[in-house]
């Protein structure tokens, strides 16, 4: 793709006047502006929910109750999960999609720019609703991010507010997904066939289908919660003939594909970074595409591995156990391909590559602990212990979040026109990777020893590993301030970035100037 004809964008001259200041951001239909909004929103949510995590870890530094009331502790764990998933990770990936998908496929913008604006601005509304629930009588929701009845049927007004916020965030995701799929299917540059698309575009195409298939299911399940709470229905109320376990089935039919919604774009980002810094084409491109699609399809037939402890029939336990293990096959293909791409490559280790390599190593640890949990008899022992917390944080922090950091370092020079501070970037990486492992690795031992999750107090024998984890949490948490400094410095100034920022970079986005002009590819580039 590097030999694609240059289709330089140009400045706003000749276009009608754009609003400035706050009105620019409120009314913008430009994919780059909206991408920037998504990324800043995600960063604010990351710091907010990260602060909640530090409060949780501070409380757990020693046994007994120190800092927060147990009910507030439950609110913190619930809101931390909800905000990190729906407010930080998902919007961050959507920010990448907004910035990069049109640039990578040679499109002038997203297919529906006005709907794109609406998709974003629904999110701060939902975020405000979630945060304001802390101020309501009874405080914020405290029943866990999974919203299980009966707790979620019994809570106060903040539960209704949260259900409404989830509806709004779901609507935003569905509209965003429609935009992304339509853009990719209809607006690719001439010559850019599906099997020539960059892996990041492929992973987002598949992720957007997953979103369209699962978000309505989540919306349906929380709608039933809402009617159970307010309109006298008994979908999930056992006293009225309903079935609370049915909620778990419906929720996890959404929830497990959601896990892949959070990780497939990460696979895409890493698949762009590793070939660039290994200076080799991605090994096994076609197998990467098919592996991504396989993971997405398999994600719909594994949901009940989250529910082994509810008393499933043995045949169902076996089915969900083996189908879950099957996901290791396409995931293994991906890890093999990333390693094979690096094999005998001319590798350099700039910050994006460091995050990508850490992703491959640490995400694999999270994948392996997932395989352990897939074994039904083992899962029944480890259900609701810190082993599960360790598992999904290895997937979501060293997996999803590290890929986001890697992607931002990778494309920040293209977005801002300035190189970031490499020294600070490396400090951010090493403190993050060390802090993250000190934080989450001891949780495996805590879980194996039987420490339950979602508790503000614990038995004395768990003290040491909890203290280690809390130290790691503060190292990891405060090292994110370095990331903020790096981003602000790059926005403000720094060494000029070349059009093709990285020596090994391939793709249409590197054919436009740095920073990418406000309008790009108004004339479609032609790929040879």
Partner 1 sequence: MSDPASMADKPNGKYRTAAMLAVLALGLFLFTLYSGLK
Contact set with partner 1 (CB under 8 A):
106, 111-112, 174, 177-179, 181-183, 185-194, 212-213, 215-217, 219-221, 223-224, 235, 246, 250, 524
Least distance in Å: CB of 30 to partner 1?
18
Q: Mapping DSSP to helix (H, G, I), strand (E, B) and coil, where does residue 418 land? A: strand
Least distance in Å: CB of 251 to partner 1?
11
For partner 1, the closer of residues 43 and 219 by Cβ is: 219
Those residues whose C-beta lies under 8 Å from the C-beta of residue 332, and which sit 6 or more positions away, are none
Respond yes or no: is residue 196 known to be catalytic.
no
Q: Please tell me the number of Cα atoms within 13 Å of 397 on its side-chain side.
A: 27
Token duo for residue 363:
């995400």
Least distance in Å: CB of 111 to partner 1?
5
Angle (CA) 259 260 261, round 5°: 90
Question: Can you tell me the distance from the alpha carbon of 336 to that of 114, in angstroms, rounded to the nearest whole number?
Answer: 41
Active-site hit among 32, 306, 391, 414: 306
Respond yes or no: is residue 80 known to be catalytic.
yes
Active-site hit among 32, 57, 229, 256: 256
Phi/psi of residue 456, nearest 5 degrees: -85, -10
Respond yes or no: is residue 305 known to be catalytic.
yes
Question: Can you tell me the distance from the alpha carbon of 505 to that of 501, in angstroms, rounded to the nearest whole number?
Answer: 7
Least distance in Å: CB of 357 to partner 1?
35
Nearest to residue 172, comparing CAs of 218, 106, 109, 239?
A: 218
Active-site hit among 77, 78, 94, 109: 109
Token duo for residue 27:
């009314």
Q: Mapping DSSP to helix (H, G, I), strand (E, B) and coil, where does residue 528 land? A: coil
For partner 1, the closer of residues 189 and 354 by Cβ is: 189
Respond yes or no: is residue 499 known to be catalytic.
no
For partner 1, the closer of residues 245 and 424 by Cβ is: 245
Q: Mapping DSSP to helix (H, G, I), strand (E, B) and coil, where does residue 450 land? A: coil
Least distance in Å: CB of 525 to partner 1?
9
Active-site hit among 31, 57, 305, 428: 305
For partner 1, the closer of residues 92 and 524 by Cβ is: 524
User: How many other CB atoms are found less than 10 A from the CB of residue 260?
Assistant: 24
For partner 1, the closer of residues 246 and 372 by Cβ is: 246
For partner 1, the closer of residues 149 and 366 by Cβ is: 149
For partner 1, the closer of residues 227 and 381 by Cβ is: 227
Active-site hit among 202, 204, 260, 338: 260
Angle (CA) 320 260 163, round 5°: 95
Phi/psi of residue 385, nearest 5 degrees: -110, 175
Active-site hit among 36, 77, 78, 145: 145
Respond yes or no: is residue 294 known to be catalytic.
no
Task: Say if CB 170 and CB 157 are below 8 A apart.
Answer: no
For partner 1, the closer of residues 190 and 332 by Cβ is: 190
Respond yes or no: is residue 403 known to be catalytic.
no
Active-site hit among 158, 173, 221, 369: 173
Helix 314-326 to helix 328-342 angle (10° resolution) is 10
Angle (CA) 209 406 426, round 5°: 170
Active-site hit among 119, 221, 271, 351: 271
Helix 157-186 to helix 113-132 angle (10° resolution) is 160
Least distance in Å: CB of 216 to partner 1?
4
Respond yes or no: is residue 173 known to be catalytic.
yes
Least distance in Å: CB of 223 to partner 1?
6
Least distance in Å: CB of 144 to partner 1?
20
Angle (CA) 434 340 502, round 5°: 70
For partner 1, the closer of residues 152 and 415 by Cβ is: 152
Respond yes or no: is residue 256 known to be catalytic.
yes
Respond yes or no: is residue 145 known to be catalytic.
yes
Q: Residue 313: left (phi > 0), alpha (psi -120 to 50), or beta?
A: beta
Active-site hit among 331, 432, 470, 514: 331
Q: Please tell me the number of Cα atoms within 13 Å of 239 on its side-chain side.
A: 6
Active-site hit among 279, 426, 453, 489: 453
**In the chain, how long is the greatest CA-to-CA distance?**
70
Least distance in Å: CB of 253 to partner 1?
9
Task: Say if CB 267 and CB 335 are below 8 A apart.
Answer: no
DSSP-assigned states of every residue in 181-231: HHHHHH-PPTT--GGGS-HHHHHHHHHHHHHHHHHHHHHHHHHHHHHHHHS
Least distance in Å: CB of 202 to partner 1?
14
User: How many other CB atoms are found less than 10 A from the CB of residue 322?
Assistant: 12
For partner 1, the closer of residues 206 and 356 by Cβ is: 206
Respond yes or no: is residue 422 known to be catalytic.
no
Question: Can you tell me the distance from the alpha carbon of 446 to that of 464, in angstroms, rounded to the nearest whole number?
Answer: 10
CA of residue 263 relative to chain centroid, distance: 6
Residues carrying an active site annotation: 80, 109, 145, 172-173, 256, 258, 260, 271, 305-306, 331, 334, 453
């Amino acid at each position: 793709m590097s030999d694609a004809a240059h289709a330089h964008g140009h400045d706003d001259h000749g276009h009608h006047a754009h609003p400035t200041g706050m009105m620019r951001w409120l009314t913008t239909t430009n994919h780059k502006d909206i991408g920037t909004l998504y990324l800043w929103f995600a960063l604010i949510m990351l710091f907010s929910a990260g602060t909640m995590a530090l409060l949780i870890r501070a409380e757990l530094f020693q046994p007994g109750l120190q800092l927060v009331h147990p009910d507030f502790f439950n609110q913190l764990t619930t809101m931390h999960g909800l905000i990190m998933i729906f407010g930080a990770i998902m919007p961050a990936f959507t920010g990448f999609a907004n910035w990069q998908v049109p640039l990578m496929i040679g499109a002038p913008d997203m297919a529906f720019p006005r709907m794109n604006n609406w998709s974003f601005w629904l999110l701060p509304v939902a975020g405000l609703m979630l945060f304001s629930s802390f101020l309501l009588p009874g405080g914020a929701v405290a029943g866990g991010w999974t919203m299980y009845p009966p707790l979620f049927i019994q809570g106060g007004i903040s539960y209704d507010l949260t259900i409404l916020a989830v509806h709004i965030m779901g609507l935003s995701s569905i509209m965003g997904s429609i935009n992304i799929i339509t853009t990719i299917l209809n607006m690719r540059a001439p010559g850019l066939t599906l099997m020539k698309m960059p892996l990041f575009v492929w992973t987002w195409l598949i992720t957007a289908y997953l979103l369209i298939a699962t978000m309505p299911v989540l919306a349906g399940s929380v709608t039933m919660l809402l009617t159970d709470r307010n309109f006298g229905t008994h979908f999930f109320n056992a006293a009225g003939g309903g079935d609370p376990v049915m909620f778990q089935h419906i929720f996890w039919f959404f929830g497990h594909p959601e896990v892949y919604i959070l990780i497939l774009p990460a696979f895409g980002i890493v698949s762009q970074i590793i070939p660039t810094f290994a200076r080799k084409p991605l090994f096994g491109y076609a197998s990467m595409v098919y592996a991504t699609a396989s993971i997405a399809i398999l994600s719909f037939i594994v949901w009940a591995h989250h529910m082994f402890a509810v008393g499933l029939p043995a045949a169902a336990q076996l089915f969900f156990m083996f189908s879950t293990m099957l996901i290791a096959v396409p995931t293994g293909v991906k890890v093999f391909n990333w390693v094979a791409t690096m094999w005998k490559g001319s590798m350099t280790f700039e910050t994006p590559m460091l995050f990508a390599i850490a992703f491959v190593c640490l995400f694999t640890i999270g994948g392996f602990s997932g395989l352990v949990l897939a074994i039904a008899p083992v899962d029944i022992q480890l259900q609701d212990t810190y082993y599960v917390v360790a598992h999904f944080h290895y997937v979501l922090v060293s997996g999803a979040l590290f890929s986001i950091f890697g992607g931002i370092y990778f494309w920040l020079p293209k977005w801002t026109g300035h190189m970031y501070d490499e020294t600070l970037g490396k400090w951010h990486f090493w403190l993050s990777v060390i802090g993250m492992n000190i934080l989450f690795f001891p949780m495996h031992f805590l879980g194996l020893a039987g420490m339950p999750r979602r508790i503000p107090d614990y038995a004395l024998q768990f003290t040491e590993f909890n203290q280690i984890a809390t130290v790691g949490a503060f190292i990891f948490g405060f090292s994110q301030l370095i990331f903020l400094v790096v981003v602000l410095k790059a926005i403000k100034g720094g060494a000029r970035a070349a059009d093709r920022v990285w020596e090994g970079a391939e793709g249409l986005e590197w054919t436009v100037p740095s920073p990418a002009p406000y309008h790009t590819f108004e004339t479609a580039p032609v790929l040879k």
